[in-house]
Amino acid sequence: MEKPEEQSESENSLDKVRAAKQAYREHEVGYTTGRSLGKQLRSSHLLMLPIQMALAPVLATLAGRWLDGRLGTSPGFTLGGLLFGLAVAAISLVRSIKEEQD
């Protein structure tokens, strides 16, 4: 009667080995999925680029216009805000291009 117990122990150890192999495979699949997720996140960053390029000048111009209204300096801060927003948008574009090339 000891032989059936030995067989069941060996079957248990085989089941453990199979379970370990399956866990390893699932871990590897998760790792590769994680790498492709990183690529997708970089791609989504590029999708946000037009929004960043549009919002930076608009928000900076609105802030400059608000400052002009508060301080009574008509076109100074509005134009400065516009130029600042355009510079931020250009820097964002250059950084995104460099990141995409790497």
pLDDT (tens digit, 9 = 90+) per residue, 37-71? 566 556 666 778 888 889 999 999 999 999 999 99
Rg of the Cα atoms in the chain: 30
The separation between CA 100 and the C-alpha centre of its own chain, rounded to angstroms, equals 13
pLDDT score at 28: 55
User: pTM score, two decimals?
Assistant: 0.55
Q: Domain of 46? A: 2-101
Phi, psi of 73 (to 5 degrees): -105, 100
Q: Which residues contact 99 (CB under 8 A, 6 or more apart)?
A: 42, 45
pLDDT score at 10: 73
| DSSP letter for each residue of 30-45 | HHHHHHHHHHHHHHHH
Q: How many domains does the chain have?
A: 1
